[in-house]
Structure 1
Amino acid sequence: MLTALLVVLFSILIVKAWLENQRNKKEVQGINNIAPPGPKGVFGSVKILSQVGKIPFLDFHKISQKYGSILNLDLNTKNILILSQYENIKEVHSNCLADNRAPIEIPNLIFTGSKESKGVLLNSGSAWQELRRFTIRSLKDLGINKSASEETVLTESNALVEEIRRQMKSKNVVDVDLMFNKAVLNVVWKFVSNQRYEYDDVKLEKLMRVLNTFMNIGQKIMGKPIGIFPILRFFPPFRWVFLECYNGVKELRDMIQESIDEHIKTFDKNDPKDFIDMFLSELNTTDKMTIDQLLICCTDLFIAGSETSSKGLMFAMALMIRHPDIQTKVQEELDSTLQGKTFVSMSDKKNLPYTEAVINEVLRFCNVVPVVAPRSNTDDIKIDKYTVKKNTTIMTNTYSVHMDEDYWKDPNVFRPERFIKNGQYVHDERNIPFGIGRRRCLGEGLARMENFLFFSNLLLNFRFYPDKEMPSIDPVPGFSNGPAAFCTRVEERF
């Protein structure tokens, strides 16, 4: 009898525990904690990923149109979430629980030379927070977004104009791709190490090779088998791809390290001249402020501030050639506003609304960096009505935001007037070429200054025409996206 009673009591306890467990599950996975939509099983997820080809952001856009703006892919060992809607991207990018970079071993090896995360771009946690704060503060102290940076960009803008004139003496056809790359690299190098190079300097040619490496990383690593399965770097043909990219970025790191060593020899704490000096001023004040971190922070500045700006300028020039009426309208605004002034400065910007609108329409229309480096959430987070599991790899596609037909109405039309209201330029919060939220591009201010001063001064001085054929605006994928290199016929306007 006693045994039977104990069995009944034990059974009741088991049932009670089971019911409690089910109740807890409902609280965690109930109607307020719905998993994001996605295909069932690994096979369905792999099938969707197999649709991603040479231009990932276009394929992500097609996938979002078919499966929805929030898509969860279950790969058994990890989840991948693809976001394509502005509100969802804004929500995630403003959430401190989604600040971390997702583990991306191969890019980390290439950019830092080790598996350890360093610098700002690919770092996470307190190291990322501290180094980002320091970098923003240092660039501000060096005059970024102020007169000091304007002087640097105007110097390079004048050099670019003179280089075009020099090339026009022998022919009126100019390869603007190489010149844009050199101009932008000089601006970045000036802030990093207080140096600039003449356009025929071998050191500048060396920096140019790094841009080709960034292109290879985007084309051959990101989203490709070696980028997903790091072990492939030990086996051909992936081995050769990895080494090509690794050695290319190592050449940049070696060049920066050489400059750091030179700075150490001449360092004056009371007279910091550039970013390297600013970092040396606080060297070893914390465990994050080390020479290794300085090296990668400088590398990050090149990655974020060189290729993206030069490709944006290439797109802008291609579109002016393809839309001569818009080029004319910009030049008419420049002429009427400047009234004989020989160069455009930042003080003129407020009086050049159409020029500003054209530049921002280029950034929206061309999507130089449509898919940013993926994030990972340190805890479960909410997106809309869904709960995203901890340690999900979160990818965002700003191309879908910029090509949202419900919002822009005619997103596939290049129409600068969409940013004009009552004759004035009006910023649109959904135009997010530099990202959004807590990891927004820290060099956005300088990049926008470069875009404005380079573009407006070129159009003030020259008229650009197609050479043998119209330049393409189809994206050539890389670490960022740009048009295929092209030449342009150039005529002096004055």
Structure 2
Amino acid sequence: MLITDGSLVAAIWAALHPRTLLLTAVTFLFLTNYLKNRRPKNHPPGPWRLPFVGNLFQLDLEQTHLVIQQFVKKYGNLISLDFGNIPSVVVTGLPLIKEAFTQMEQNFLKRPITPLRERVFKNNGLIMSNGQTWKEQRRFALMTLKNFGLGKKSLEQLIQEEALHLADAIGEEEVFRNWEKLKLFVSRMMDSHRKDWNPVEPRDFIDSFLTEMAKHPDKTTSFNEENLICSTLDLFFAGTETTSTTLRWALLYMSVDSEVQEKVQAEIDRVIGHGRQPSTADRESMPYTNAVIHEVQRMGNIIPLNVPREVTADSTLAGFHLPKGTMVLTNLTALHRDPKEWATPDIFNPEHFLENGLFKKRESFLPFSMGKRACLGEQLARTELFIFFTVLMQKFTFKPPVNEKLSLKFRMGLTLSPVSYRLCAVPRL
């Protein structure tokens, strides 16, 4: 029987089993993925990756920061990990962190494009934006916060007032979980502000932003409604979520270690007493309380891998090549639990921040990150933590309910927070 070329191809095609075709297609896809994502020469070492998913199956998403420490022990202080199709490196140890974020900072200023950023933030706000938008929004936020009293007595008085409200409403919580609901909440606040907005007398951040928007009606800058919403929520998150989570860790540690709580209260009674409110001016006279707050931040470790950055140009770090576009994670967990830096790295111990009875700053303590991308609300957060914590310790003794055992386990969310717990707040007479 004579078979033409066309008929021959058709016969061969028909003879192929569908499974063979599927296997061929899958093999081709895997090979394409491998060639596209293979690591360049002199790339930092790391565990073996799977096509498409990278190292995701090797990471427990509930405790990624702890699993990473096992890889650090095996591969060193600069390791590669791929989160899906996002090539990443994890930087461990103070010398490398300082080299990346001070000496080579211009190459590490950018935020990476992750699914979360792409869907929620885009290039808006203070935390996840890049380029001109980031510069404009950060400069404006710092200027506005200073105009409203950041670092001044007037703002401290507002914090003191809020601390009293917190003490009055202890045990109550307002929780926003849905991003769209949050955006709607801020949007309604904007509408409310517009009704009686006076550009000459701004009352808060939203009023000031509306004034800045009015200066640029042609929309040639980043001052628009979407950035107003995102920047407001960034400030809310950075100034509220992180502070409240740290306070939750603080109350938990105080309830677990009653001896530390008693020492804090003794210092408060000696320096401040019961009659007046704590002030940041008291901080220098209260080294033990200050040390306890810092130790809570070290152990609480609420942002264990820092906010990610991205390599903006091909770079060399620790002798390894980092291609442009690589995501960079800072291993704050290892830094804050380094046995070379901390006498008892895994135990809550305020003595880590004390020397001869005086408060001691530690270079290996970076809860607010470092460099130009460091938390712009650091000063505000430090003030809030000191006043809120001191007011609560001044007015209450915290202890677990009868026959209940407290747990120091954590859960992963926007921040690393304690699992749900119950406390008794016993008023101090």
Band the TM-score falls in, shorter-chain normalisation: 0.7 to 0.9
| Structure with greater helix percent | 1
Question: How many angstroms apart in 2 are the aligned matches of 1:399 and 1:470?
Answer: 26
2:157 corresponds in structure 1 to: 151
What aligned pairs does 1:320-399 form with structure 2 within 5 A after superposition?
A: 320-399=254-333
User: 8 Å contact 1:61–1:84 — kept in the other structure?
Assistant: no
User: 8 Å contact 1:42–1:74 — kept in the other structure?
Assistant: no
Letter paired with 2:398: F
1:142 corresponds in structure 2 to: 148
TM-score (norm 2): 0.84
Change (3 A) 1:426 1:42: same
1:490 corresponds in structure 2 to: 425
1:98 corresponds in structure 2 to: 108
Question: How many angstroms apart in 1 are the aligned matches of 2:84 and 2:251?
Answer: 46
User: 8 Å contact 1:42–1:75 — kept in the other structure?
Assistant: no
The SS at the match of 1:382 is: strand
What aligned pairs does 1:75-474 form with structure 2 within 5 A after superposition?
A: 78-94=86-102, 95-110=105-120, 112=121, 116-164=122-170, 176=171, 179=172, 181-182=173-174, 208=175, 210=176, 213=177, 248-283=178-213, 284-285=215-216, 286-467=220-401, 468-474=403-409
Q: Does 1:68 align with 2:76?
A: yes
1:243 corresponds in structure 2 to: none
Shift of 1:261: 1.6
Shift of 1:101: 0.7
Question: How many angstroms apart in 2 are the aligned matches of 1:76 and 1:472?
Answer: 33
Question: How many angstroms apart in 1 are the aligned matches of 2:207 and 2:56?
Answer: 48
User: 8 Å contact 1:372–1:396 — kept in the other structure?
Assistant: yes
Letter paired with 1:71: I
Deviations 1:297-337 (A, max 9, x none): 11211222222111110110110111111001111111111
Letter paired with 2:238: A
1:478 corresponds in structure 2 to: 413
Question: How many angstroms apart in 2 are the aligned matches of 1:69 and 1:418?
Answer: 24
Question: How many angstroms apart in 1 are the aligned matches of 2:394 and 2:47?
Answer: 53
The SS at the match of 1:407 is: coil
Letter paired with 2:294: N
Question: How many angstroms apart in 1 are the aligned matches of 2:49 and 2:272?
Answer: 62
Gap runs ≥5 in structure 2? 1-39
Mean CA deviation greater in 443-452 or 350-359:
443-452
User: 8 Å contact 2:46–2:71 — kept in the other structure?
Assistant: no
User: 8 Å contact 1:149–1:446 — kept in the other structure?
Assistant: no
1:56 corresponds in structure 2 to: 64
Indicate the RMSD between aligned Cα atoms, in angstroms. Answer: 2.4
Letter paired with 2:229: L
Change (3 A) 1:323 1:78: closer
Relative contact order: is structure 1 or structure 2 higher (C-alpha 8 Å, sep ≥ 6)? 1
What aligned pairs does 1:7-18 form with structure 2 within 5 A after superposition?
A: none
Deviations 1:13-63 (A, max 9, x none): xxxxxxxxxxxxxxxxx9xx9432234665699357523331111112222
User: What percentage of residue pairs aligned between the two structures are identical?
Assistant: 30
Gap runs ≥5 in structure 1? 1-29, 165-175, 183-207, 214-247
Shift of 1:444: 1.4
Question: How many angstroms apart in 2 are the aligned matches of 1:39 and 1:476?
Answer: 25
The SS at the match of 1:442 is: coil
The SS at the match of 1:46 is: coil
Q: Alignment length, in residue pairs?
A: 384
1:46 corresponds in structure 2 to: 54
Change (3 A) 1:428 1:76: closer
Letter paired with 1:130: E
Question: How many angstroms apart in 1 are the aligned matches of 2:48 and 2:427?
Answer: 61
User: 8 Å contact 1:353–1:424 — kept in the other structure?
Assistant: yes
Letter paired with 1:151: Q
Change (3 A) 1:52 1:329: same
Change (3 A) 1:145 1:76: closer
The SS at the match of 1:417 is: helix
Change (3 A) 1:409 1:61: same
The SS at the match of 1:487 is: coil
Shift of 1:339: 4.0
Structure 1 stretches of at least 4 aligned residues deviating more than 4 Å after TM superposition? 39-45, 74-78
Change (3 A) 1:422 1:76: closer
Change (3 A) 1:427 1:76: closer
Question: How many angstroms apart in 2 are the aligned matches of 1:385 and 1:41?
Answer: 22
User: 8 Å contact 2:341–2:364 — kept in the other structure?
Assistant: no
Change (3 A) 1:91 1:44: farther
User: 8 Å contact 2:280–2:387 — kept in the other structure?
Assistant: yes
Question: How many angstroms apart in 1 are the aligned matches of 2:88 and 2:346?
Answer: 28
Deviations 1:176-214 (A, max 9, x none): 3xx3x44xxxxxxxxxxxxxxxxxxxxxxxxx2x2xx2x
